[in-house]
Amino acid sequence: MSKVLKILLLILLLASLAMLVMWPHGDVGARERAPDADVMSRDFPLVLEADLPREARATLALIAKGGPFPYSKDGVTFSNREKAFPKQPRGYYREYTVKTPGSKNRGARRIVCGTPKTQTFECYYTDDHYATFRKIKL
């Protein structure tokens, strides 16, 4: 085999390898954009912070301070089994109990925040134990 042919074959092999590496597997661009697209397409009803029950406003203040929280389960990972929110890495969503006056247990009210601890710019309120959510507008 001539030296020129070997060089051409090597170039062809390298070009093929480069194409394989750079070739998108499925629609990678869409997969990378999926969380943003989901957030944009998901319309949660809004609730103003001022319109939340007093206990929910107190819970938001505790979240912003980083605690201490009255319930041991406050701040744990919300697993999103209900698929209420766009898919995010595990641990992204955290849940917090909103006290329910007269309830002997944690009750049905929660705030779920999809942000790092102590930040409240992406939080949702439910008063029916995850059946419905409203995005909290601060």
pLDDT at 128 (0 to 100): 94
Q: Check which CATH number belongs to the domain holding 66 and give it.
A: 3.10.450.30
pLDDT at 11 (0 to 100): 75
pLDDT at 33 (0 to 100): 35
Count of domains for the chain: 2
Say what the pTM is: 0.68
Residues 29 and 58 in one domain: no
d(CA 2, CA 37): 54
pLDDT at 16 (0 to 100): 61
Nearest to 75, CA basis, from 116, 130, 31 = 116
Which residues are the active-site residues? 95, 129
pLDDT at 5 (0 to 100): 67
Range of 64's domain? 44-137
Residues 8 and 49 in one domain: no
Residues of the chain below pLDDT 50? 20-41
Residues 67 and 109 in one domain: yes
